[in-house]
Amino acid sequence: MRLTDMTDIAFRTLIFAGSHPDRIIKVEEVVTFYNLPHGTVKKVATNLTQAGILVAQRGRSGGLRLAHAPEQINLGTVTRAIEPDFGLVECMRPQNKCVITGTCRLKSPLIEAQSAFLAVLDRYTLADILLSPLDFGLKNTDDLLP
């Protein structure tokens, strides 16, 4: 199974936001720090906000912050919120046109594997993957700023 870049960027955005618990972060900071496309980070931030994982504050001093404590942000939930679909093969997709769907035995093991994958992510929260300034080799989180 492969996750889209959107999920990777969502995790990195949350790690960045969680590493700055004392302030609001800007999309531009995430873009600069990770060297990512602005439009993609903005889209991910919008999706995370719509999912209730981030809170967006509008205005000149606006930006993003975590909607919940890192211990309450589940990685499986983030993945489900960001991934467009989990149709690993044709028969698992809405527009299934596979001619052997009725007799094929592949779908069941793939559904089981997908469930196992998500079950592992469900065991972890953002708190489990957050980085401290020391992990970056820095003295404090302000040093993370570009």
* CATH number where 36 lies: 1.10.10.10
Tell me the two tokens of residue 146.
């570009």
- In three-state secondary structure terms, 7 is helix
Indicate the number of domains in the chain: 1
Give the pLDDT confidence score for residue 136 in this predicted structure. 57
Q: What is the pLDDT of residues 79-114, one digit of tens each?
A: 999 998 888 888 888 889 999 998 999 999 999 999
Mean per-residue pLDDT for 23-43?
95
Nearest to 125, CA basis, from 58, 72, 66 = 72
Single pTM value for the model: 0.86
Give the pLDDT confidence score for residue 144 in this predicted structure. 55
| Residue 118, domain extent | 5-144
Q: What is the pLDDT of residues 61-73, one digit of tens each?
A: 899 999 999 999 9
DSSP string covering 38-100 = HHHHHHHHHHHHHTTSEEEE-STT-EEEESS-GGG-BHHHHHHHH-S----SGGGSTT---TT
